[in-house]
Every structure is written in C-alpha cells, then in structure tokens.
C-alpha cells in the first residue's frame, strides 16, 4: 500500500473528530497528532503529521505483529500484553495506550553506532515503545543511522536537551540568547530527521546553577525565542516541551505553576509542559497538585527516583503521581530517566551532580523500571 493511501486510511477515524472538544479528541488519538493548546482538534496538522510519519515507512509495508502504527502505538505481539485496560463506556472506543519510554543515557553516554545499537535495540528488547535521544550536541547525531535503527527496531523517538551557559535564550546578552536559539533550531532539525515528534528539556534557559534569579529582559528573550522556535517546529510536526526542573538546574521554571505562567506568555499551541517526578519531589508541595495545575498542557512525563537510581527505592510517592495522571486522563509518553556516573559523560555528570554509581547494569535497571511502570500505571 502506498504511503499516501496508508495515510488516507489512517485519517478516516480522525476526520470524524474534527471540531470535537479537545477533551473528547484525547479519547481517540494519541497526543501530539492534534495541535496542543487549541480547543478543537486540528485536522490540518493531523494530515501533516500522519503524512510525515507515513513518509518514514521505507519501503511501505504491512504492520507486523508487535510493530507500531503510524500514530506510535505498538500493536500487541504474542508475548506482550496490550496496555489498554478499560473504556469510558461501551459506546466509546478504548483510550490509546501511553507510550512507555526510556532515556538514552540509561544505556549509553554517547551516540556512536555501537551506542546507538545498544540504546535502541536494548530498549526494544525490553518492550519499551520509545527512546528519548539526547541532543545537547546535535552535530554528534548520525541522523540517517539513528533513523534507520529506530525504524528497524519499530521504536518511536523523542528528543531532549538542556541549553548551555554560552547558548542561553534567557540571557540578557543578545549574542548568548541568539546562540541558544540557534542550538534549539539545530536540535529541532535533527529531531525531525530522526522522526521524533517532541523536543523537550531545559529549552527555556541554560542547564546550570544560576547565581541569581531571572531578569525581566532575560525572561522576555526566552519567551520571544521559544515562540519563534515553536512556529518552526510546528512545520515539522514537532512539539516543544518546557521541563520543570529544580532550582539548582534553572532559575526560570521550578514549579508547574511557573511553567504555566511562562507557557501563557509564549502563547503558542505547539509548546507544552513536561513534568519530572525527580524534580517535583524537590520543588512541589504535591505532585498531584502539579499535574492538576498543568491540565491538558501536560504532554510529557519523566519517571525518576529521588536519588536517580532504581524506581521504588527512594522517596518519590509514585502511587500518588500515577493516580493523579490517571485522574487527569493523561495520554502522553511516560519515560524512565536515570543517571549513573558509570554511563553519563563526566561533563554532564558534573552538571547534574552525579557523583556516585547508582547502578552498574543498564539492562537490569531498565528492565526493573519497565516492570515497575507496567505494574503501577493503570489508567
């Protein structure tokens, strides 16, 4: 079947949702197909996104058992139980399953061919749906290789980065702010090239400990840059995420409420909020309240323990977080993130204050995390 025919086939159920309130659209399509932030389903973007994803099928072929559809959900194979567990009513179709992901740095600290194979194939072997690719240095990514390996493994992808002190869109210095915007633009291009649909992380400031709070001029620079980046990213069907991090990694967004304030200033439907259990455990009074604060602007979630190690061995209240996500009918990706000085390169280890080996065996850690999420997450 030709890619255009396949796209048209996939469009049929989506066209029926045109004009339906966003809350109803969430029951029918995976988040990211419609333009986030709008009150109605955005059919033109859906057409663009599906055609773009269809073009990645090379050559076009019938979906195999255990493979992913164009919208990113994996059809259950004989050894993998479907994650869809319930429907709102007999008259409504089942809600789509959340994509369960794992961060690249769980497996490898670089982007060589060997490291690509380890991260992508290792994630697929354990039943993950997507892998989050680090784009701190976009030039280090072999785009054709990464894209091909993702396709061969039937893996979806997201991308993330933290801006740098000399490339910071929230800087008062116009040259530094411009360098930050350029880095974001390069990251979006690479993300589009490998087939990712989300670029998230500390996209609004540098990833480091600031000596003072944000300035009015710096905040304005960040808002203006992100508005421009979001417009360019939307042309490639990519959403921009604002990851809420702790006070030692940014001075601009440390809570869900602050993220929503910046989001309203950016005022672009292609920008969304990204919450992380590790950071919420430091800054938020309640993870459940943070989820409620974001509402349908929450499009991406990181699952990480308080010490960045094995899930369930620290102080994060995962049952409360998962209950809040279920109550909010969250349908976006849920991605496991963990760091150890054994894998993470020294520069990033210093930035993230990863001073000890929290784990040695990447596969054992990732396998444990997958089982933990599958057990606890029951929307």
Which residues are catalytic, by number? 243, 337
Q: How far is CA 291 from CA 21, 86, 158, 310, in A?
A: 20, 22, 21, 23
> Across the strands, what pairs with 298?
273
Strands (E), the chain: 100-103, 130-134, 156-163, 198-206, 239-243, 271-276, 298-303, 334-336
What spatial distance separates the first Cα and last Cα of the chain, rounded to whole Å?
35
Is 2 in a helix, a strand, or coil? coil
CA distance 144 to 323: 40
DSSP 130-186: EEEEE-SSGGG--HHHHHHHHHHTT-EEEEEEEEBTTB-TT-SSHHHHHHHHHHHHH
CA distance 337 to 300: 12
Q: Answer for the pair 358, 308: CB distance below 8 angstroms, yes or no.
A: yes
């Amino acid at each position: 079947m030709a890619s255009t025919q396949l796209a048209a086939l996939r469009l049929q159920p989506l066209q029926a949702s045109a004009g339906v309130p966003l809350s109803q659209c969430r029951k029918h399509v995976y988040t990211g197909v419609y333009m986030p932030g709008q009150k109605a389903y955005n059919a033109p973007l859906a057409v663009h996104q599906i055609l773009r994803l269809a073009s990645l099928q090379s050559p076009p072929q019938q979906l195999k058992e255990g493979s992913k559809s164009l919208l990113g959900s994996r059809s259950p194979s004989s050894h993998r139980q479907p994650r869809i567990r319930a429907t709102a009513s007999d008259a409504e179709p089942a809600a789509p399953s959340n994509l369960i992901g794992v961060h690249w740095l769980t497996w490898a600290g670089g982007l060589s061919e060997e490291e690509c194979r380890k991260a992508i194939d290792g994630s697929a072997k354990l039943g993950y749906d997507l892998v989050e690719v680090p784009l701190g240095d976009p030039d280090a990514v072999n785009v054709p290789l990464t894209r091909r390996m993702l396709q061969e493994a039937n893996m979806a992808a997201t991308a993330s980065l933290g801006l740098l002190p000399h490339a910071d869109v929230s800087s008062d210095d116009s040259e530094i702010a411009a360098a930050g915007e350029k880095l974001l633009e390069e990251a979006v291009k690479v993300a589009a090239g490998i087939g990712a649909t989300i670029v998230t992380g500390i996209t609004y400031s540098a990833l480091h400990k600031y000596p003072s709070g944000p300035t009015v001029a710096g905040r304005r620079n960040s808002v203006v840059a992100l508005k421009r980046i979001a417009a360019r990213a939307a042309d490639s069907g990519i959403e921009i995420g604002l990851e809420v991090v702790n006070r030692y990694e940014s001075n601009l967004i440390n809570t869900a409420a602050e993220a929503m304030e910046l989001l309203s200033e950016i005022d672009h439907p292609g920008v969304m909020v990204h919450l992380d259990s590790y950071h919420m455990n430091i800054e938020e009074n309640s993870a459940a309240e943070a989820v409620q604060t974001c509402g349908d602007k929450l499009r991406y979630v990181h699952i990480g323990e308080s010490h960045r190690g094995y899930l369930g061995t620290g102080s994060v209240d995962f049952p409360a977080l998962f209950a809040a996500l279920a109550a909010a009918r969250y349908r976006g990706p849920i991605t496991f993130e963990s760091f150890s000085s054994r894998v993470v390169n020294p520069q990033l280890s210093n930035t993230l204050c990863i001073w000890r080996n929290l784990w040695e065996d990447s596969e054992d850690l990732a396998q444990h995390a997958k089982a933990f999420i599958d057990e606890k997450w029951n929307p």
